[in-house]
Amino acid sequence: MDGQNPKHPYESPLIKVLDEEELLKVFQMTAAEISVASCWWGACTAGCAA
């Protein structure tokens, strides 16, 4: 409790409300994330060369 206001012993939580644009922004996936499962759509060019 040292150094804290005894009336406010803890920090108030911040509440963030996501609107539809923010939520859609968060729930996205990159081509790299999709591709990693099965070298998607034969994307391998240089890197995969065995």
- Site residues (vs another protein, CB under 8 A): 20-50
CB of 5 to another protein, least distance (A): 37
The DSSP output letter for 49 is -
Residue 1 or 32 having the CB closest to another protein: 32
Q: Which two tokens stand for residue 10?
A: 């803890």
Q: Which of 17, 22, 32, 29 is nearest to 43 (CA)?
A: 32
Residue 12 or 45 having the CB closest to another protein: 45
CB 37 within 8 A of CB 46: no
CB of 27 to another protein, least distance (A): 4
